[in-house]
Chain A
Amino acid sequence: MNDKKLHEDQKYIDGLADNNAFIIQAIYDKFAPKVINYIKQNSGDAYDAQDVIQETIITIYNQAKQKKLQLTCPFDAYFFLLCKRKWLNQLKKSKGKEVTINEEVLSKDDDAQVLSFETSIFENKQALFNEMFQQLGDACKDLLKASFKIKSMEDVAKSLDITYAYARKKKSLCIGQLTKLVKASPKFNRLNY
């Protein structure tokens, strides 16, 4: 990925990561109409489009901030594919609706396919990770929250009134427990590990 040339539309990714209102606005002005059209033509309305677009932008933001998302294709194609996939998945879930996924209509841009697929996987991961975190005991939740908020494990240990060595060991084991929960989940196969 890294040897490929960054697309100039990377400015949208960076702008999202910076919470730049002008960029967000520009994304709505330029790229939303196509998505709205598509959803309206496929059993949805403007409200559905609003949700799909908003969720998609949040996912891109999360990935951009966390994984330093590098765009090697036009934002337009990438964004459209993400929104489209999200909408079709929603249609599939709500029973009774017949869905025809017309793959030929998909963009011919390979990079857009690959990148949007990676982002969809990223979204699945994040959703499952958050779901599993809720299943942890309070002791683990508190320790993990403290250790990612405070950063210095010495201070974390102090704030929780435990020794440094124990805090550090406990942190590994709590994330270890999460690892096990994630692996055992029926949704694990959607994560492409």
Chain B
Amino acid sequence: MEEQDYIQFEAYLVGDLSEEDLLAFNMRLESDPEFNKSFEIYKDLSSNLEHQIANEREIFDFKANLDVISSQHFNAIHDKELVVKPSPKSNFYKYAVAASVVVLLGFFVFNQFGGPKYDDYNNFDPISLTVRSSDDSNFSKGEQSFNAKNYKEAIKVFNLILEDDFTNLEIQLYKSMALVETNRFEEAEILLGKITNGNSAYQNKAKWILALNYLKQDKESECIKVLKTIPQDAEDYKTAQELLEKLD
């Protein structure tokens, strides 16, 4: 191909060819297979570059999101495969378990006096989803599971609802609460981050849950940071202030 051919390819893609040139261009595409092939490659290259360069940020975000979901899905599988079966001849395992129980006990006892805990704040009000969509059994299943504190099941059902209606912020919020309850902190954080950054009625509630998400992980400074963003007119403002006082 000559330089001129590539300049023509570009002009064609931009829509800059005169009517006469366009006609000649199309004719050559049909009659000259090498020209046609080069043009196809040029077109694909251009489209690929545009995607990779213009969407750089979006691609990065997508991969980050995918990474989190993939790890979460597979960590459970890897853990299962890596379970070490204790040998009956060795008592080391037993001692190790006993020792860690002692350490854990110490940790809990210490924590009892250490400050406010997630469990002091997670008495969520029962949710009600069925009034609006009485015909949908997923909504009633989700509601029942959540209110019965069967959070694992609730997450499953919420996912089903969100698959068809992924912009449903109310369900997203309840899902995030269930995620915190089941210690899926990273997922909860991503989801809550989205809701708090939005401009919805659930924004402040999401901030509160995000604070609890940090509290449960003993990330005090993060928890304090979020608590401070909860405005006075928010439903959870009073409780948030109380918690803030205890933490500060």
The answer to the question of A163 belonging to the interface, with a C-beta cut-off of 8 Å to chain B, is no
| A193 B66 Cβ-Cβ under 8 A | no
Report A-chain residues with C-beta under 8 Å of the C-beta of B1. 176, 179-180
The reply on A130 being an interface residue by CB < 8 A is yes
Q: With A22-B163, A125-B48, A173-B6 in contact, is A65–B74 under 8 Å at CB? A: no
Within the complex, which residue of B38, B55, B66 is in contact with A54, where a contact is CB–CB below 8 Å?
A: B66
Contact A172 B66 (CB under 8 A): no
Q: Does the CB pair A179–B159 fall under 8 Å?
A: no
B77 touches A175 (CB 8 A): no
Closest to B162 in A: A22
A125:B73 contact, CB within 8 angstroms: no
Judge whether A86 is part of the interface by a CB distance below 8 angstroms: no
B-facing residues in A100-134 (Cβ within 8 Å): 125-126, 129-130, 133
Pick the interface stretch among A24-32, A74-82, A88-96: A24-32
The answer, among A15, A22, A28, A66, for a CB contact under 8 Å with B48, is A66
Min CB distance, A139 to chain B, in Å?
15
A66 interface neighbour in B11, B42, B47, Cβ under 8 Å: B47
Please encode chain A, from 151 to 175, with 1 for each CB lying within 8 Å of some chain B CB and 0 for all others.
1000000000000000011011101
A138 to chain B: closest CB distance in Å?
15
B81 in the interface (beta carbon within 8 A):
yes
Number of contacting residues on A, CB 8 A? 52
In the complex, which residues 2-28 of chain B have their Cβ closer than 8 Å to any Cβ of chain A?
3, 5-7, 9-11
B136: Cβ under 8 A from any A Cβ: no
Which residue of B41, B50, B52, B62 is within 8 Å of A193 (Cβ)? Answer: B41
Give the nearest-CB partner of A67 in chain B: B47
Q: Which residues of B contact A54 (CB under 8 A)?
A: 66-67, 70
> Counting CB contacts under 8 A, is B83 at the interface?
no
Say yes or no: A28-B49 contact (C-beta < 8 A), given A46-B81, A149-B54, A172-B7: no
Answer whether residue B239 sits at the interface, using C-beta atoms and an 8 A cutoff: no
Given B37, B52, B74, which contacts A46 in the complex, CB threshold below 8 Å? B74
Q: Is the CB of B6 within 8 A of A176?
A: yes
Q: Assess whether A57 is interfacial by the CB under 8 Å rule.
A: yes
Q: Which residues of A contact B149 (CB under 8 A)?
A: none
CB of A71 within 8 A of chain B? no
Scan B31-43; emit 1 where CB is below 8 A from any A CB, else 0. Answer: 0000001101110
Residues on B with C-beta less than 8 A from A21 are: 65, 69, 190-191
In the bound complex, how far is the Cα of B64 from the Cα of A61, in angstroms? Answer: 13
Q: Closest CB of chain B to A165's CB: distance in Å? A: 11
Q: How far is the CB of A12 from chain B (nearest CB, A)?
A: 9
In the A-B complex, list the 5 residue pairs whose CB atoms are closest, starting with the nearest. A176-B6, A148-B53, A172-B10, A66-B51, A22-B162
Listed in ascending order, the chain B residues whose CB lies under 8 Å from chain A are 1, 3, 5-7, 9-11, 37-38, 40-42, 44-56, 58-59, 61-63, 65-67, 69-70, 73-74, 77-78, 81, 159, 162-164, 166, 190-191
What are 24 A-B pairs with beta-carbon distances under 8 A? Answer: A15-B166, A19-B65, A22-B162, A22-B166, A23-B163, A26-B163, A53-B70, A61-B59, A61-B66, A66-B48, A67-B47, A125-B44, A130-B52, A148-B53, A148-B54, A149-B53, A171-B10, A172-B3, A176-B5, A176-B9, A176-B42, A180-B1, A183-B37, A193-B41
- 10 other contacts beyond A26-B163, A148-B53, A171-B10, with CB at 8 A cut-off? A19-B65, A21-B190, A22-B166, A25-B69, A36-B77, A49-B74, A54-B66, A61-B59, A144-B49, A176-B6
